[in-house]
A and B are shown apart, each in its own frame.
Chain A
Amino acid sequence: MARLLFWKPKVEDEVSDELAFHLEMRVRELVERGMPPEAARAEALRRFGNLAGVADACRSEGTRRDRTMRRTEWLGELRQDLAYGCRTLLRNPGFSVLALVTLGIGIGATTAIFSAVNAVILQPLDVPAVGRVMLISEEWHGLRSNVSVGNYIDWTAANTARPMFSAMGTINWGNFTLTGGDQPERVLGARANTSYFRVMQVAPQIGRVFSEEEDRPGGPRVVVLSHRLWARRFASDSAVLRQTLPLNGQPYQIIGVMPPGFDFTAGTEEFWLPAAFTPEQRAQHDEHYLTVYGRLAPGATREAADAMLRPVMKGLSERYPDANGKNTILIEPMMAQFVGDARQQLWLVLGAVALVMLIACANVANLLLARGAARAREFAIRASIGAGKSRLLRQLLAESGVLALAAAVGGLGVAGLVIRTLVAAAPPGVPRLEQARLDPATLAFALLLSLLSVVVFGLAPALRAAATDLQSTLRTGQSRGGGTGRDWLRQGLVTAEVALALVLLVAATLLVRTAIHLQRLDPGFEPRGVVTARLSLPAEGYAAPESARQAFETVLTNLAAAPGVGRAALVTQVPMGPGGSDNGLVPEGKPLNGENAVGARFRLVSLGYFTTMGIPVRRGRDFTPDDRAGAPRAMVVNETLARALFPGQDPIGKRVACCEGAREDPKWKTIVGVVGDVRSQGPDQAVATEFFLPIAQAPDPAWTWVGRTMNLVVRGRGDPLALTPALREAVRRVDPGLPLYRIGTMESVLSGSLVAVRFRTALLAALAGIGLLLAMVGIYGVVAFLVTRRRSEIGVRMALGASPRDVLRLVVGQGLRPVLAGIVLGGVAAFATTRLLASWLRGVTPTDPTTFAGVALALVAVAIAASLIPARRATRVQAVEAMRAD
């Protein structure tokens, strides 16, 4: 029986041929038995049965059979391709590890940062149509300022502006003492009105928010909890509505719990009380402390709302010139406020990460190009023994797929690690960063990136390899493939890598130099050995200014007597600490109005504050016990304020109006001393104008401005934190119910103020380091390839008497060419882009020549180091062997 090889008919013919054969055989048999042909044919058909039906059934079965077979075959080939891809990757472990590590790091870092950007910037707040919610502020000399109650009430009452907003609500924050736990604690709470919740359009998860009736002076004590406080304090008990919350010594009935998404930032308020403005507050235009949000009415725009509200504010400024001065309004989307500086920071980091990813891609492209060239011969052979072009392509795609998938898996591992590190190391206050996690969108992003990079860079060389003329490839035996065109491409890739790495390195170096500068900067005080803690007095029992003053002074007396305490003092706000307030100061001789006021940070201090903190008195004197109530009012200013108030004059003995009094009796305060500037807002911020008043002469309303809260500052001998028990004891002896919080050394406060700086510096330095490493790998790869390609040439040169030194110079020189081009290109790019960093730089300019030169030199050194390894290999080439090999 001979087989007819390779002959496969269509199903149609197959079935009719087969059935015809059957009938024919049967007829022949019957005829042989003696039946006449006609009868035999009829008998065969009868025995066969329904011929048409059978043929149909066979044809449909046959079609299905062929489809199944094609699929199995395809799957089998795919499995073969994948297995082959895995085998090739395993056979070249050097290539595979390099490609995987490069891609994994690139994908991992990009995915992690994308997750963070996604959480902080792209994910909107949990507020419906958040883009319609506007932050409405007063604008004072170009600065965003809070709104006074009177102004807010008049805005909402204005007939022209009202239709622009479907709701306009207000909120303001304060610290409260929460008792009932192990220790009394200070928590941030907010006073809001019902309209605030209407603006946000967020319904409580449990219960309700307060009604208009409850939001009035003397109304019921009710409180709405944040999800965080509910979970922390009540263990998410659903029966919470029957309980009360003891705030400032008063029980507040819990009426609702907001959903988790209503905690906009990590450090926001933990509960809401009704604002309950009194008639006096509603008529008060002077104290600007409200935050106002408005939801744009359907059809209204920000511009239209601005145009309607601006004249209303103009009218208010004319009616209350002392209170409002030339204040105008500022309407901006609420999101802008929540994202703020973090947005810029994340975009810049994302930009840096994109550069790293580009370097990684260039590297992988180079690797794949080299491999594609090396495999040109393999493809030529495979094609010549019958592999179709589509089959070759499919095999390459499968290989790329295996590589991309493996890189994506590795990259996701890296990303998880980076996200965890990022969330742990980030400075507090980056909103919603803690919500960053590997979500499906990010996963898709990683897969797409990895597939894209491998397919683009894997397929292009593959296509070229496949398109190479097989005949010529085989004939010339150009096993290491590639002409000058390909060399050009590879060197171009290295140039790009070096340029990108240079941009990253320059940016990172500028930030590192900023961080060093800030670290060395004199903060203006001596933080070593000082411990500080905050102490708040409740309104109940301490509402009278005199009783607050006495309580604080007793604490100070107790402290001074405690063992181990060197010096002790009180201040309403330590440098870089929370609290404090601002006031306008008018020097004597100018009309007493808002126009002539110089804004300055206000601090109440006890005797000995400046010596305790190590702040030098530059002129005049420190406060003395003689600066008591009834004596002439004394004031100390810092150098910056002295210059602002009395430019070019001696400020000592000059008088200033501030903080209290009326036009008839401005309660003049005499400047008795000038102290050195302190970088109170943090080392990276400009020095602010500041003034100090002694506790004994504190204006009566001052205690309310500072929330009856002061910092104890104690300089001890030895470990400052060892003084903590003494601090607690000094307070306990005055009133055991008083909370002492934010206990820490001034050194930790100072270094804490640099957390953000250090974070972004470390982040960019790490990215730049990765970029440099990847670029190094790229340079190494190209030089190594160069050496392999020019083996025979090098061999000839050495045979003709070139020394190893000459060869070294030749190879390294060749390797350096694209690097130098990259340095020039990158320098230009860095020069154009480092301006983006300007707001973060201190003590160094964005185009600092030392930094640029240093980075360029470092890159040259790295490039030489990277090309030395393959170059040394070149010097060991044996001439004869090299020539024989080709």
Chain B
Amino acid sequence: MTQPQADLLHGTLDVLVLKTLTWGPRHGYAIARWLEGTSGEALRIEEGSLYPALYRMERKGWITADWGLSELGRKAKFYRLTPAGRARLRQEIAAWRRLAGVVGHILEAAG
């Protein structure tokens, strides 16, 4: 058995971020923590690379941000999903399922 792939497939980070935000607005650090917690060691990324992705998605109109106060009373930037982002997430999930189905099929047939 090989080591799990440490790099994220292109576009995967976006989907995960969008997914995170389905539960409500979060700031960048919270998103990073959630990614860490859910995926554990399997998806290790440099935390910094999260931010350019956030700005890019903001530009594309999938997420939008407001400045608010964090749990500790500190000024923080909170992201939330836009309707366009929600639609995007649905698309991505459907595509993932299709891909997984096809790959699974091939592997089973080959095994």
By a beta-carbon cutoff of 8 Å, the part of chain A in contact with chain B is 1-4, 7-9, 14-15, 17-19, 21-22, 24-26, 47-51, 53-54, 57-58, 61-62, 64-65, 68
Contacts and interface: CB of A to CB of B under 8 A. Distances in A.
Contact of A17 (B49, B66, B75): B75
B69 A14 contact: no
B69 A1 contact: yes
A8 B46 CA distance: 28
Given A21-B74, A22-B32, 15 more contacts: A1-B69, A4-B68, A17-B77, A18-B27, A18-B76, A19-B48, A21-B28, A21-B29, A21-B70, A22-B51, A25-B29, A50-B46, A54-B52, A61-B55, A65-B58
A828 B76 CA distance: 78
Interface string B34-65: 00000000000011110110111011000000
A54 B49 contact: yes
Contacts, number: 82
Given A14-B77, A21-B27, A64-B59, A1 B52 contact: no
Looking at A8, A19, A47, which has the most chain B CB atoms within 10 Å of its CB? A47
Given A21-B29, A22-B28, A68-B59, A9 B67 contact: yes
B54 to A, nearest CB: 8
Nearest to B36: A47
Nearest to A19: B51
A58 B50 CA distance: 10
30 contacts: A1-B68, A1-B69, A2-B68, A3-B67, A3-B68, A8-B67, A15-B51, A17-B75, A17-B77, A18-B51, A18-B77, A19-B51, A21-B74, A21-B75, A22-B28, A22-B47, A24-B74, A25-B29, A26-B47, A48-B47, A49-B46, A50-B46, A50-B48, A54-B52, A57-B52, A58-B55, A61-B56, A61-B59, A62-B58, A65-B58
B67 A7 contact: yes
B28 A18 contact: yes
Contacts of B25: 1
A708 to B, nearest CB: 88
Nearest to B59: A65
B72 to A, nearest CB: 8
A24 B29 CA distance: 10
Contact of B46 (A15, A19, A22, A47): A47
A64 B25 CA distance: 23
B77 A48 contact: no
Contacts of A54: 48-49, 51-52
Nearest to B32: A22
Interface residues of B, number: 26
Contacts of B51: 15, 18-19, 22, 54, 57-58
Contact of B55 (A1, A4, A9, A62): A62
Contacts of A7: 67
B8 to A, nearest CB: 14
A49 B68 contact: no
Contacts of B55: 57-58, 61-62, 65
A9 B52 CA distance: 17
Contacts of B59: 61, 64-65, 68
Contacts of B78: 1
Contact of A26 (B29, B66, B69, B77): B29
A211 B74 CA distance: 99
Q: Is the interface of A mostly helix, strand, loop or mixed?
A: helix
A40 to B, nearest CB: 14
A2 B48 CA distance: 26
A58 B52 contact: yes
Contacts of B56: 61
B48 A49 contact: yes
Nearest to B66: A3
Contacts of A61: 52, 55-56, 58-59
Looking at A17, A19, A54, A68, which has the most chain B CB atoms within 10 Å of its CB? A54
B49 to A, nearest CB: 7
B85 to A, nearest CB: 14
B77 A47 contact: no
Nearest to A44: B47
A46 to B, nearest CB: 9
Contact of B67 (A4, A25, A64): A4
B34 to A, nearest CB: 13
A17 B27 CA distance: 12
Contacts of A53: 48
Interface in B1-48: 25, 27-29, 32, 46-48
Contacts of B54: 58
A231 B72 CA distance: 91
Given A47-B47, A51-B48, A61-B55, A4 B29 contact: no
Contacts of A2: 68-69
A49 B48 CA distance: 6
A49 B47 contact: yes
A14 B56 CA distance: 14
Nearest to B74: A21
Contacts of A57: 51-52, 55
A21 B68 contact: no
Looking at B27, B59, B68, B78, which has the most chain A CB atoms within 10 Å of its CB? B59
B43 to A, nearest CB: 14
A442 to B, nearest CB: 43
Contact of B48 (A17, A48, A68): A48
Nearest to A8: B67
Looking at B56, B66, B67, which has the most chain A CB atoms within 10 Å of its CB? B67
Contacts of B66: 3-4
Given A3-B67, A47-B46, A21 B58 contact: no
B3 to A, nearest CB: 20
A210 B77 CA distance: 88
A595 B69 CA distance: 113
Contacts of B77: 14, 17-18, 21
B56 to A, nearest CB: 5
Looking at B29, B48, B51, B70, which has the most chain A CB atoms within 10 Å of its CB? B48
Contacts of B69: 1-2, 4
B65 to A, nearest CB: 9
A375 B36 CA distance: 61
B67 A49 contact: no
